[in-house]
Chains A and B, each alone.
Chain A
Amino acid sequence: MTAQLGRLLILASLLVATAGVVTGFANNLRWTRRFAYAFSALMAMATLVMEHALLTHDFSVGYVAQVGSRAVPMWVTIVSLWSSLEGSILFWGFVLAIYIAAATWLTRDQAQSMPYAIATWLACGSFFSFLIAGPANPFGSVSPVPLDGPGPNPLLQNHILMVAHPPLLYLGYVGMAIPFGFATAALLRGKLEAPLLGATRKSLMLSWIFLTLAIMLGGWWAYEVLGWGGYWAWDPVENASLLPWLTATAALHSVVMMERRGVLKGWTVTLIQASFLLTILGTFMTRSGVFNSVHSFTQSAIGPTILVFLAAVLIGSVTLLALRIDKLGNDGAIEGAVSREGTFLLNNLLLVLFTFTVLIGTVFPLVVEAVNGRQMSVGRPYFDAMVVPLGVALLFLLGVGPALPWGRVSHEQIKRALLPPLVGGAALVVIGLIAGVRNPWAVVTLLFGGYALQVMFASLLRGAAFTREAGRRRTGAQLIHVGVAVVMIAIGVSSTMRTQSEVVLTPGQSATIGKYKLTFTGTEMRDEPHRVSQVARLEVMKGAKKVALLEPRMNQYDAMREPIGSPDVYSTLGGDLYVSISSLESDRAALLLITTPLVSWIWGGVVLMAFGGLVALIPTRKPATVEVAVTEPRLRLMTP
């Protein structure tokens, strides 16, 4: 019964979305809006039906039989919705539905481009309805009805971050559809200006915030769960989330150029299209199983279906861009290479190179395997060697760009703007050298990072008119940039100054790493409904003071033959002590001990980035149309 109801709702949403696409491109705004709301309601109801089935353990529904279990805690049951393939695609559709309803509502006083924008969103919606109705149907009927199910993949049950990471990632990923819709509408109408411009920027910023947090939580999850003590491995799944973030970041910068100078309109639209395409590519890479084997991904229809959608969006976007880009036109010009504008252009160039670097490294093994069947991966050294210089160059621009004035500048102005922050850079380098930083890249990161921080703090202290949208956007951008500088410094230092050792201890024995002494006091068994854990107890001493009790563990889940290790971390502002188990018997523990400086600054810096984004998004009481149409002289007043 439940299964049929869910399926019916999905089929209805497919019908409604398709109708909305037709009315939208026929320029009938009223009906397009109605279809948009109807689509959102139907998709949301279908998701609720599934969530209800999960919570009531209705194993007659295919997806529930696949991932449900009576033994797991309630929070695991709720998040089971996105723990496996079919459910996560339904969740994709749900998030899209929320976005479409919200965006349609927030743009209710806009008329001109909206039918095209909503139609584009609904085209995306109808694709996902189709996917859920057919190839990735979670509402299959199971007969006979099983009494219990296996529960979701234990690796995903192993940490509470599983509650937050996927929804944020989906909010970031799916949200890119909204600016993409606006960009498509702009191309179709041949105009990109207020208020469409403001709506594009805000929706882009919103998904950027979610994506930023999601990438960080993904790294954090890997750090807390996987047990090798790192937060980033250039794994295809991680790269899939980073790629659209890079192009969206570039687009957020080129939007500023577009508003201030009237240039880069076509370029900005291209970046927005690329961001959306990369989210679809990412969905394809992570949802189709293509990385298990190029040749086996066709075993399910999901992969090929997403691939066809990707190809269609790509061809459509490129065609539209080629036909209409000249219509957008550029009203202004850029003067002088050494200026704020020049650094914006360089920033975009570097971010695009960054994107290509990661994209090539991620896709290369797939291409090779498709061509000659040889299996391989691109090793981490490639990414590190390519990306570190790009990251450092971006950090350089992060300091120099905001220090430079807009427009044509004299040598005197350049000197006056660029010399003072060297103090901040030098100070951080000295602190770093005293603390033991020796890696040249890390030292350069400290120099540029300190430089950027001084520039940012100086302009934050000067303050901005917070009552005006421009002032809030400026403050938000400065906060984001402080966050970026902090994150990059923390990555530079933590990745070059990690120490690790492997030890084997019997109860009562101790090991020393850095300034910590760890004593293994024994093991303990813990019984929980969904797992049995064997815990190693370790007392951590710093000097004569006991600072922590660490309990890394091996978790044995019913559904799995082998236990999963779960590391434990003692975090301080200065750095982390990380302990993970290689193997554990009652009288003998083989442990991996790692110390990494500044790790918590990465998480903190990213949270600051997201907060800065929110500050930039705070709405004005006046209608947005007035604010977006800010003219040059008014902004000049705020540039000292």
Chain B
Amino acid sequence: MTFVMKTRRFAFIAIAVAAVAFAVIAGSGINNNLVYYWTPTDLQAAGNKAYGATIRLGGMVAPGSIHRIGTTSVEFDVKDATSIVHVKSSGVPPQMFREQIGVVVEGTMTRGGSFESSRLMVSHNNKYQAPKAGHPVEKKQMEQYIREAQ
């Protein structure tokens, strides 16, 4: 085996080791920073797995559930066809925030049973129409909505 071949083999092994190390670091980095897109039903189905994960929760603001806490905080219920989640949101809610409107909140589920959010979004979506009274939000539409919220 010539010197050049030895050097080549060494370089090859070094690059392979570096690539594996990089993949491991990147993989765990992604795993720890996933943001899940869930509806209230998804959230309840996840059970214990829901605690601690970063979640974008999308649903409709339940009628009569909005309570403003001071000037920059608000509590309300987010619901879909089958489930309801109580949300505590810090920060001034956006202009369009009201009952019966679709919202997306980003935050975590606490063991106290409420969802604590630091971001409350009302999507600027032309196509989105608030569901008619009594009609649940369709899951497909909600997922679309969660993605497009900014």
Give chain A's interface residues, CB within 8 Å of chain B.
Answer: 153, 155, 226, 291-293, 296, 353, 356-357, 360-361, 364, 374-382, 385-386, 502, 504, 554, 559-565, 581-584, 590, 592
B91 touches A502 (CB 8 A): yes
Top 4 closest A-B pairs, CB basis?
A: A382-B33, A590-B92, A583-B95, A379-B33
- Total contacts A-B at CB 8 Å: 89
Measured CA separation A561–B98 after assembly (Å): 14
Measured CA separation A147–B36 after assembly (Å): 44
Contact of A376 among B25, B32, B36 (CB under 8 A): B36
B29 touches A385 (CB 8 A): yes
Q: A378-B35, A582-B93 are in contact. Are A292 and B29 (CB under 8 A)?
A: no
B138 within 8 A of A: no
Give chain B's interface residues, CB within 8 Å of chain A.
Answer: 22, 25-26, 29-30, 32-37, 54, 56, 71-72, 91-97, 122, 124, 126, 143-144, 146-148, 150
Give the distance to chain A from B30, nearest Cβ to Cβ, in Å.
5
Chain A residues with Cβ under 8 A from B97's Cβ? 583
Measured CA separation A375–B146 after assembly (Å): 10
Chain A residues with Cβ under 8 A from B54's Cβ? 379
Chain B residues with Cβ under 8 A from A377's Cβ? 34-35, 37, 56
Q: A292-B148, A504-B71, A562-B124 are in contact. Are A360 and B95 (CB under 8 A)?
A: no
Measured CA separation A581–B144 after assembly (Å): 25
Closest-by-CB residue of A relative to B70 is A504
A-B contact pairs, 23 of them (CB 8 A): A153-B126, A226-B150, A291-B147, A292-B147, A356-B26, A360-B26, A360-B30, A375-B146, A376-B35, A378-B35, A379-B34, A379-B35, A382-B29, A502-B91, A504-B72, A563-B96, A582-B91, A582-B92, A582-B95, A583-B95, A584-B95, A590-B71, A590-B92
Give the distance to chain A from B90, nearest Cβ to Cβ, in Å.
9
A563 touches B33 (CB 8 A): no
A378 touches B33 (CB 8 A): yes
A560 touches B26 (CB 8 A): no
A560 touches B124 (CB 8 A): yes
Chain B residues with Cβ under 8 A from A582's Cβ? 91-95
Measured CA separation A565–B150 after assembly (Å): 12
Chain B residues with Cβ under 8 A from A292's Cβ? 144, 147-148
Measured CA separation A375–B92 after assembly (Å): 28
A559 touches B126 (CB 8 A): yes
A375 touches B37 (CB 8 A): yes
Chain B residues with Cβ under 8 A from A360's Cβ? 26, 30
Chain B residues with Cβ under 8 A from A379's Cβ? 33-35, 54
Chain A residues with Cβ under 8 A from B148's Cβ? 292
Q: A356-B22, A582-B95, A584-B95 are in contact. Are A386 and B29 (CB under 8 A)?
A: yes
A375 touches B143 (CB 8 A): yes
Measured CA separation A155–B123 after assembly (Å): 12
Closest-by-CB residue of B relative to A384 is B33
B30 touches A364 (CB 8 A): yes
Measured CA separation A296–B33 after assembly (Å): 25
Closest-by-CB residue of B relative to A505 is B71
Q: A155-B124, A293-B144 are in contact. Are A583 and B94 (CB under 8 A)?
A: yes
Give the distance to chain B from A236, nearest Cβ to Cβ, in Å.
10
B30 touches A378 (CB 8 A): yes
* Known interface pairs A292-B147, A504-B92; 12 further A-B residue pairs with C-beta atoms within 8 A, sorted by A's residue number: A375-B37, A375-B143, A376-B37, A379-B33, A380-B33, A382-B29, A386-B26, A554-B95, A562-B122, A562-B124, A565-B95, A592-B92
Chain B residues with Cβ under 8 A from A386's Cβ? 25-26, 29
Which one of A360, A375, A378, A559 has the highest number of Cβ atoms from chain B below 10 Å of its Cβ? A375
Chain B residues with Cβ under 8 A from A584's Cβ? 95
Chain A residues with Cβ under 8 A from B22's Cβ? 353, 356
Closest-by-CB residue of A relative to B123 is A562
Chain A residues with Cβ under 8 A from B124's Cβ? 155, 560, 562, 564
Q: A292-B147, A504-B71, A564-B124 are in contact. Are A376 and B34 (CB under 8 A)?
A: yes
Chain B residues with Cβ under 8 A from A565's Cβ? 95
Chain A residues with Cβ under 8 A from B91's Cβ? 502, 582
Measured CA separation A561–B123 after assembly (Å): 11
Measured CA separation A226–B92 after assembly (Å): 16
Measured CA separation A374–B69 after assembly (Å): 34
Chain B residues with Cβ under 8 A from A378's Cβ? 30, 33-35
Give the distance to chain A from B116, nearest Cβ to Cβ, in Å.
16
Measured CA separation A381–B147 after assembly (Å): 18
Give the distance to chain A from B66, nearest Cβ to Cβ, in Å.
14
Chain A residues with Cβ under 8 A from B146's Cβ? 375
Measured CA separation A379–B32 after assembly (Å): 9
Closest-by-CB residue of A relative to B27 is A360
Measured CA separation A559–B94 after assembly (Å): 20
Chain A residues with Cβ under 8 A from B34's Cβ? 376-379
Closest-by-CB residue of A relative to B96 is A562
Measured CA separation A625–B52 after assembly (Å): 62
Measured CA separation A564–B29 after assembly (Å): 35
Measured CA separation A565–B32 after assembly (Å): 33
Chain B residues with Cβ under 8 A from A381's Cβ? 32-33
Chain B residues with Cβ under 8 A from A153's Cβ? 126
Closest-by-CB residue of A relative to B101 is A562
Give the distance to chain B from A296, nearest Cβ to Cβ, in Å.
8
Measured CA separation A378–B96 after assembly (Å): 28
Contact of A382 among B32, B56, B72 (CB under 8 A): B32
Chain B residues with Cβ under 8 A from A581's Cβ? 95
Chain B residues with Cβ under 8 A from A364's Cβ? 30
A583 touches B147 (CB 8 A): no
